[in-house]
Amino acid sequence: MRFEYSVIPAPTKTEKAREAKTPTDRYALSLTAELNRMSAEGWEYVRADVLPSEERSGLTGRTTVYHNVLVFRRPHSVDPELRRLPQPEASEAAPAAPDAMTDRP
């Protein structure tokens, strides 16, 4: 089975909620909302990663910044028209091979 993938940034801001009293609770609630949003679109959560990215710093400098991302996947949707193999027409079919057993003396 083939999959397509989507990578999105992990949430960095949280929203206040009555049931979330601590910053950790608010972050978990934001993360849950993001996972549920992607799931509603057919994406399956795979993992969270921290990945490096080289970015400009000032006029000529460069620095490495690390980004927290969420990885999702879903089955690759292939167009059904592309899956069908072309069928040869009767006139294009190769002639039948002679039977090897009939050529014996």
pTM above 0.95, yes or no: no
Q: What are phi and psi of 64, to 5 degrees?
A: -100, 125
Strand order in the sheet with 44-57: 3-9, 61-75, 44-57
Query: Is the separation of the CB atoms in 27 and 48 below 8 Å?
Result: no
Question: Beta 61-75 vs 3-9: how paired, if at all?
Answer: antiparallel
Band of pLDDT at residue 1, cut at 50, 70 and 90: confident
So what's the pLDDT on residue 76?
86
CA atoms of 45 and 38, how far apart (whole Å): 8
The C-alpha atoms of residue 40 and residue 43 are separated, in whole angstroms, by 7
Give the whole-angstrom CA distance, residue 25 versus residue 62: 36
Is residue 84's pLDDT more than 80?
no
Task: Check: CB of residue 8 under 8 Å from CB of residue 72.
Answer: yes
Give me the pLDDT at residue 90, please: 53
Convert the pLDDT of each residue in 3-33 to its tens digit. Answer: 999 999 999 988 888 888 899 999 999 999 9
